[in-house]
Every structure is written in structure tokens, then in C-alpha cells.
Amino acid sequence: MQLLARTQRSLQRASLHYGHGTDNARDEAAALVWHALGLPLAPMPARLAQPASARQLQRLEKLVQRRVQERVPVVYLTQRCWFAGLLLHVDERVLIPRSPIAELIEQRFAPWIDARRVRTIADVGTGSGCIAIACARYLPRVRVDALDISPAALAVTRINIRRHRLGKRVRALQSDHFSALGKEAYDIIVSNPPYVGRREMAGLPAEYRHEPEGALAAGVDGLDSVRVLLSQGAQRLRAGGILVVEVGNTEREVRRSFPRLPFTWLEFERGGGGVFLLTREQLET
Ligand SMILES: C[S@@+](CC[C@H](N)C(=O)[O-])C[C@H]1O[C@@H](n2cnc3c(N)ncnc32)[C@H](O)[C@@H]1O
């Protein structure tokens, strides 16, 4: 407990930016202490009460140093992350999972589509595979194509597919948006694409520089990927299918650039926003 408080104080003194799945020093301190001491994820009180060894303390010291001095996000230090209740391997080849879309997946995309009729899903820009894997877990009969342009990211996607034993239902494919596909069409296309504009990229806190630039940067106005999804989405959706895209705080730019599209902006109980939904029929208008 003392160790936790001490680590928390070290982080607080450093004026860090919290934007990678936590919003406070206490949670980050807990993640680092747990990792350095090799504590099980559901800790036994007895083990928590034991004093830490010199080696464990040294390990923790190094982790705190990297968090404070190099501004490495905690998830890259622990290399694990929860998404929609699922534990994933995450390293610097992929964006740290934090999309509010997790909540929608946990609700099996209700009330927007009847989960019983969903057979296929595409996750465009899959990164760690968090969205694709969560879709396969929450909708146990669907097949998911996990698409990403980055071979390095896809190596991580494949680690997570294997860990969750989903090799039969989740396919990781290198693809520039839909380019590597044949005639595939989907009931749901879901995407958390890059959506950071050039000016915003230049002003991001240091923590974000540890994430792959290609996972964040999307041209001058942040809409490079969104434009492709909006122009090609309808062709890739089956009748009654839906497109769900996270655009974060680029929402205003999206509304301004596509004034005729009847976006539904989703709301989330656990917070977060900037996610729109369109049906195939709406995309065709
Ligand atoms: C914001 S990250 C999202 C990762 C993951 N889906 C998540 O929610 O944590 C965007 C991902 O899109 C990928 N990407 C960037 N440009 C792409 C493109 N043209 N086609 C496919 N994927 C792309 C990046 O490599 C990155 O993994």
C-alpha cells in the first residue's frame, strides 16, 4: 500500500498527460506496481501485504522512470490492456485501445441492428485487433475481417487472435482500407481509423509520440480515412448493414464536410463520443 502511494506521488509530481485508458495517477501507479511485482490480476490480499523484494523495487523504479522521463504510456510498459472486458497484448506497434465503441460491442450493436442476423463484420484499421476480437467474442457466430495497412500492427493483431483462440473466425488481412478484399460485403463495418489533422498532430502531448504515427495522422484535416470509409462503405455493406466510425474530436470537421449525410452520433454511458453510425441506405443518399 505504501508502495502504491509512493508511486502515485512520483507520477503526480511529474504533470503527466493521462489519455490512454486512465485519467489519474492512482490507476497508473496501481498498474505499474502490479506489473513490477508480478501480481496476479485478481490479487490475493495476502500477497499484497508481503514486502516487495529489492528486485521488484528496482523494476518498479525503472518503470516509473520511463513513465515520467520518457512519457511512455503505462500500457506500453505493462504490455497489457483491457478492452470490452478482454485482456489484450499491446505494444508500440499498435495504438493503445480506448475506443468507446467497446460499449456498443458489449451491447451487441443494439438497438441499431439485430445481432441474430449478423454474419460478417469488417474492422477497418484493426491495430491490436481489439474491436475485431471483441466483436467475435460478443457475437459468437460472426466471422470478422480485421484489416490494417500496417504489417507491424497485424503481427500484434495475430498475437491477440491466437490468445483468444479466434483463428477460425477472425482473419487478419493487410489492406489499405478495403483494397485487398474481393467481393466481400458485411453486415457491420466498424472502424476507429486515424483521424488527427496536421495541426493537432503537432500539438499532441509527448505520450502520443510513442504511438504509431500511422494510427493517428490522417492528412491535413484528419479526414483522409473517413472519406474512404464514406465513399466505399455502401458497396461493402449488405442491405440493412451499418457503418460505425469513431472520429473523436474531428466530429465537427466531419459534420461540416458532409452536411448532407444523416449521421447518428452515438452516446455512451461510460463516456467518450465522436462516433457516428450510418446505414447502407443512408450512405447511398
Ligand atoms: C486509431 S488506430 C485504431 C486501432 C484499433 N482499431 C483501436 O481501436 O485501438 C488506426 C489503425 O488504422 C490503421 N490504418 C491507417 N491507415 C490505414 C489504411 N489506409 N487502411 C487500413 N488501415 C489503416 C493503422 O495502422 C492503425 O492500426
**pLDDT, tens only, 69-88:** 999 999 999 999 999 999 99
* C-alpha 123 – ligand 1 centre gap (Å): 9
Helix (H) or strand (E) holding 149: none
In the chain, the largest separation of any two C-alpha atoms, in whole Å, equals 65
**Residue 38: left (phi > 0), alpha (psi -120 to 50), or beta?**
left
Domain ranges in the chain are 2-78, 80-283
Q: What's the fold here for domain 80-283?
A: Rossmann fold (3.40.50)
Q: How far is the CA of 213 from the centre of ligand 1 (A)?
A: 10
pLDDT band at residue 140 under the 50/70/90 scheme = very high
The percentage of residues in the chain with a pLDDT greater than 70, rounded to a whole number, is 98
**Per-chain mean pLDDT for the chain:** 95
Report whether residue 267 contacts ligand 1, using a CB cutoff of 6 Å.
no
Q: What tens digit of pLDDT does each residue of 40-63 get?
A: 877 666 766 778 899 999 999 999
Distance of CA 97 from the midpoint of ligand 1 (Å): 11
Give Cβ neighbours of residue 224 (< 8 Å, ≥ 6 apart): 194, 218
pLDDT tens figures, 152-210: 999 999 999 999 999 999 999 999 999 999 999 999 999 999 999 999 999 999 999 99
Please tell me what DSSP assigns to residue 78: H
Atom 12 in ligand 1: residue holding the nearest Cα: 125
Provide the sign of the torsion angle of the four alpha carbons 210, 228, 160, 23, taken in this order. positive
Q: How far is residue 166 from each of residues 141, 206, 240, measured CA to CA in Å? A: 11, 35, 26
Give the per-residue pLDDT at 243.
98
* Residue 128 and residue 97 in contact, taking contact as beta carbons nearer than 8 Å: yes
The atom number, within ligand 1, closest to the CA of 99 reads 8
104 Cβ closer than 6 Å to some ligand 1 atom: no
Give dist(CA 29, CA 69) in Å, integer.
15
| Start-to-end C-alpha separation, the chain | 58
What pLDDT is recorded for position 230? 98
Q: What is the DSSP letter of 196?
A: B
The answer on pLDDT for 1 being more than 90 is no
C-alpha cell at 191: 472502424
Tell me the residue ranges of DSSP E strands in 117-221: 120-124, 143-148, 170-174, 186-191
Q: Phi/psi at 101 (nearest 5 deg)?
A: -60, -20
Task: Assign residue 49 a region (left: φ > 0; alpha: ψ between -120 and 50; beta: otherwise).
Answer: alpha
Q: Any idea what DSSP says for residue 115?
A: G
Residue 211: phi and psi, rounded to 5, are: -90, 150
Parallel, antiparallel, or unpaired for β 275-279 and 237-246? antiparallel
Q: How far is the CA of 119 from the centre of ligand 1 (A)?
A: 23
- Beta strand pairing status for 170-174 and 237-246? unpaired
